[in-house]
Amino acid sequence: METPAMLWKLCTRSIFLQVMIGLVLGVLCGIALPELSTQLKPLGDGFIKLIKMLIALIVFCVVVNGMSGAGDLKKVGRIGLKSVIYFEVLTTFALVIGLVVAYGIGLGDGASIDLNDLSASDAAIYSGGTQAMHGPVAFFLGLIPSSVFSAFAQNDILQVLLFSVLFGSALNLVGEQASGVARLVNEFSHVIFRIMAMIVRLAPLGVFGAVAFTTSKYGLESLSHLGALVVVFYLTCALFVLAVLGSVLRLCGVRLLPFLRYFREELLIVAGTASSDAVLPQVMRKLEHLGIRSSTVGLVIPTGYSFNLDGFSIYLTLAVVFIAHATGTPLAMSDLLTILLVSLVTSKGAHGIPGSALVILAATLTAVPAIPAAGLVLVLSVDWFMGIGRALTNLIGNCVATVAIARWENDIDIGRAQSLLDGRKAPVAAGGAQLRTAAESEAGR
């Protein structure tokens, strides 16, 4: 009699179990009731929209709170510079690994795709989106919003981040005279996080709708056409996480598997929705609870969402080489170097662009004229499945980046982090309130 009651209590309290149940029910519903399942897509879309509704406000509150109390603004600039260096190094690793794996195993060889069978009009839908990307000058000008309100209205995270850094810096410089404003932002953040906690309870429903729709539309056999590409992509992402990100964490004194287990609920939500946006607020709070200063979390995570796209980088090089091989296009060493250099640029800022993976892939293909742009159509049918791997790898990469930068800056209570990850009760953070956050009591579920 006690066991069913205990299981029910566990299910009602654990988001992880609820999402797991939603995931399994979504697959079963998609197989058994395909017609009904095709109408369930709004459940997943609605959940993601609810999350996105608050992301700009959360980024603003976290960054402003962190910077207004950071003390030395030189340190903030130092963290930003170190983050950019880290992002570039890890992105290069991801691109090289993807290129070496794809070219080494001859991914796509023997497919013998006739270019006449490809619909150039389908490819044009996505390649047309590359017109807006005129180069680095236009990109950096695009970081500046036409107005503060437009940045929030358009939910452009990089523009919001720029304004938040300026606002937080100004509060820091004004000091005591602006203490009322700083306190207001801090109190406002508590309200926003409470709203977010309410929305997160809907995650199982969102995952159920998204998975049911996807299973019913594509079917379990949908991987058969490009199964090799999908399998190689996931194996390459796993290799990158285990070898590269695992090594980074080891250097920081943290073990990879407990670290992934700590974020299991967030990773499961991402797997169900194929969007890392859905967990950005929770991830930031759990990193703070791990013992990392809020100022570091507030700078690294939002920036990493646009500049540190490890999974996206692996996808780019694998897809380009696959298309080249599948269409019988020979690649010279100069073509491979061009792919690397162009991908290093085009992968930046891709987050948040509708159909970003296909848009940026089209932009990369246009830089290598030898590869037919119409080959983009080849990856359309499995893009959603690969999107899950992209989102998962991107999220893990940004969480690891935050730990690495915090360790580099000595902004993490490593003893607290190790205790939490090992399942032991966390000690009081050194410096008391410096590392504690208002969200701490809620984050350690």
Element (H, E) at 22: helix 15-32
Looking at residue 233, its pLDDT comes to 92
Looking at residue 161, its pLDDT comes to 77
Looking at residue 401, its pLDDT comes to 93
Q: What would the mean pLDDT of 423-439 be, rounded to a whole number?
A: 46
| CB of 370 closer than 8 Å to CB of 328 | no
Tell me, yes or no, whether 445 lies in a domain.
Answer: no
- List residues bridging with 292 in a β-sheet: 412
Element (H, E) at 130: none
What is the per-residue pLDDT across 316-362, written as a single tens digit (0 to 9) for each?
888 888 888 777 777 777 777 777 777 776 666 555 444 556 666 76
More confident residue, 262 or 10: 262
Q: What is d(CA 10, CA 7) in angstroms, rounded to the nearest whole number?
A: 5
Residue 142 in 3-state DSSP? coil
Of residues 252, 377, 253, 248, the one with CA closest to residue 310: 248
Q: Encoding tokens for residue 15?
A: 């988001």
Tell me, yes or no, whether 9 lies in a domain.
Answer: no
Of residues 136, 99, 98, 105, the one with CA closest to residue 337: 99
Tell me, yes or no, whether 433 lies in a domain.
Answer: yes
| CB of 203 closer than 8 Å to CB of 47 | yes
Residue identified by tokens 């690649």 is 331
- 295 is in which domain, residue-wise? 15-440
pLDDT averaged over every residue in the chain: 76
Tell me, yes or no, whether 133 lies in a domain.
Answer: yes
Q: Encoding tokens for residue 44?
A: 């997943």
Residue 120, domain CATH: 1.10.3860.10
Distances (CA, A) of 385 to 102, 309, 333: 18, 17, 30
Q: What is d(CA 80, CA 34) in angstroms, rounded to the nearest whole number?
A: 48
Distances (CA, A) of 387 to 61, 140, 315, 391: 29, 26, 9, 6
CB atoms within 10 A of CB 6: 10
Q: What is d(CA 220, CA 216) in angstroms, rounded to the nearest whole number?
A: 9
User: What angle, rounded to 10 degrees, do the helices at 157-174 and 294-307 form?
Assistant: 150
For residue 395, is pLDDT > 50?
Answer: yes
Could you tell me what percent of the chain has a pLDDT over 70?
72
Looking at residue 298, its pLDDT comes to 81
Looking at residue 404, its pLDDT comes to 93
Check residue 367 and report its DSSP letter.
T
Element (H, E) at 197: helix 179-200
Could you tell me what percent of the chain has a pLDDT over 90?
12
Prediction pTM value:
0.68
Q: What is d(CA 256, CA 242) in angstroms, rounded to the nearest whole number?
A: 8
For residue 263, is pLDDT > 60?
Answer: yes
Q: What would the mean pLDDT of 395-411 be, rounded to a whole number?
A: 91
Tell me, yes or no, whether 4 lies in a domain.
Answer: no
Tell me, yes or no, whether 10 lies in a domain.
Answer: no
What is the per-residue pLDDT across 47-101, written as a single tens digit (0 to 9) for each?
877 877 877 887 788 778 766 665 556 666 777 788 888 888 898 898 889 888 8
More confident residue, 411 or 3: 411
Q: Encoding tokens for residue 391?
A: 């989102």
The dihedral sign for the CA sequence 434, 435, 437, 441: negative
What is the per-residue pLDDT across 210-253, written as a single tens digit (0 to 9) for each?
778 867 776 655 444 467 788 899 999 999 999 999 999 999 99
Alpha helices, H only, 201-293: 203-218, 227-239, 246-251, 256-262, 264-273, 280-289
For residue 393, is pLDDT > 90?
Answer: yes
**Beta-carbon contacts of residue 116 (< 8 Å; ≥ 6 apart):** none
Tell me, yes or no, whether 350 lies in a domain.
Answer: yes
How many independent structural domains does the chain possess?
Answer: 1
Check residue 226 and report its DSSP letter.
T
Tell me, yes or no, whether 120 lies in a domain.
Answer: yes
Task: Label residue 270 by pLDDT band (50, 70, 90).
Answer: confident
For residue 307, is pLDDT > 80?
Answer: no
Q: What is d(CA 143, CA 312) in angstroms, rounded to the nearest whole number?
A: 21
| CB of 336 closer than 8 Å to CB of 342 | no
Of residues 81, 80, 100, 82, the one with CA closest to residue 92: 100
The dihedral sign for the CA sequence 301, 307, 313, 316: positive
Residue identified by tokens 């600039």 is 77
> Rounded to 5 degrees, what are φ and ψ at 112?
50, 55
Distances (CA, A) of 188 to 318, 433, 440: 44, 19, 17
Task: Label residue 402 by pLDDT band (50, 70, 90).
Answer: very high
Q: What is d(CA 86, CA 397) in angstroms, rounded to the nearest whole number?
A: 11
